[in-house]
Amino acid sequence: MPFPTYRSRRLRESPALRRLVQETRLTPSELILPLFIVPGHGIRQEISSLPGQCHLSVDQAVTEAKTVVDHGLPAVLLFGLPAGKDPLGREAYSPTGAVQQAVHAIKRAVPGLVVITDVCLCEYTDHGHCGVVEGERIVNDLTLELLQRTALSHVEAGADMVAPSDMMDGRVGAIRACLDDKGYYHIPIMAYAAKYASSFYGPFREAVQSTPQFGDRRSYQMDPANAREAVREVQLDIVEGADIVMVKPALPYLDVIARVRQSTDLPLAAYNVSGEYAMIKAAARLGWLDEERATLEALTSIKRAGADIIITYFAKEAVRLLARGGL
């Protein structure tokens, strides 16, 4: 039915009509806000590379968690900075680490909030890699035990879910086995299943000082050129016991999100990473684009591509924008 019988513009006449036929709707209930926990007390220090995001000590993280709940957001994802770094990232699995303490304090103050923890060593190792280093090699199987200990320490502190982001082979299975062995068979794993070796993590690495001291992460994170491999990575993590799978980053990988969506019925998360956030913030500061519209457009595109869950530094802002009518 071509023009003039059919006219696409009929359904674009008014805001109410456009809302009526909108195919993709963003809601607060699918957004997760990352938080950066630091040792100490009374610390709420803005991260220069992530405007609007702060380093939070445990007490401030509790305050923030209450705000997150007030926004109607269901979950936070905790990252930690240690007091000191060493080759084996010991503070990652210390029961008194900042993340472990924050998990405990947040669950006590706001039990209804889902507390997810990032499980990785790179914030805690002095070389900045996500695994044990021998020479210039990142040793896979030795790393697994440290990841198990890290995940277990988070769950023992009260974490509702763990999210391994290291990209070592076999880590989902190793963590699943460890948690099951300790009776934590009810704790889900959100696997960073298809995580690319991306330049878009730049602002995050500045925030946690985790830039590798030698080499890069390409021997464990994925080649940005590969999409079929993402489907394979996702299938492997599902076989190993992942409950939620993730594609990361999001915006430069919308095709990967769409492909993975076709390949599994599991909940699919996408990580709208620090560089994606920083680009919009920086361009808006320069007056080059409308921050509010760009934010909602970017998040909507990630959902349109097939993500059920979006991890984003924009989460609180997005809730405010959605309350004002959305896109």
Which residues, at least 6 apart from 42, have a Cβ–Cβ distance to it below 8 Å? 57, 59, 60
Q: Identify the residue among 93, 124, 201, 253 touching ligand PBG (CB under 6 A).
A: 201
Q: Which region among 20-28, 137-145, 204-212, 280-288 touches ligand PBG (by CB under 6 A)?
A: 204-212
Which tokens go with 284?
């808006």
Question: Of 157, 194, 156, which Cα lies nearest the Cα of 172?
Answer: 194
Q: Which is nearer to ligand PBG, 4 or 30 (CB)?
A: 30
Give the C-alpha separation, 283 to 302, whole Å: 20
Considering the rule CB under 6 A, would residue 101 count as an interface residue with ligand PBG?
A: no
Q: Which region among 11-19, 132-140, 198-206, 299-307 touches ligand PBG (by CB under 6 A)?
A: 198-206
Considering the rule CB under 6 A, would residue 122 count as an interface residue with ligand PBG?
A: yes
Q: Which region among 18-26, 56-64, 197-205, 285-293 touches ligand PBG (by CB under 6 A)?
A: 197-205
Question: Of 82, 41, 35, which Cα lies nearest the Cα of 55?
Answer: 35
Q: Which of 66, 107, 182, 248 is catalytic?
A: 248
Name the one residue in this structure whose structure tokens are 């799978």: 245
Considering the rule CB under 6 A, would residue 143 count as an interface residue with ligand PBG?
A: no
Considering the rule CB under 6 A, would residue 120 count as an interface residue with ligand PBG?
A: yes
Considering the rule CB under 6 A, would residue 118 count as an interface residue with ligand PBG?
A: yes
Q: How far is the CB of 36 from ligand PBG (least distance, A)?
A: 10
Give the C-alpha separation, 110 to 67, whole Å: 10
Considering the rule CB under 6 A, would residue 53 count as an interface residue with ligand PBG?
A: no
Cis-peptide, bond into residue 249, ω within 30° of zero: yes
Print burial letters for 170-197: b (CB count within 10 Å at least 16), e (below 16): bbbbbbbebbeeeebeebbbbbbbbbbe
* Catalytic positions, written as ranges: 195, 248
| Interface with ligand PBG (CB under 6 A) | 118, 120, 122, 165, 201, 204-205, 210, 273-274
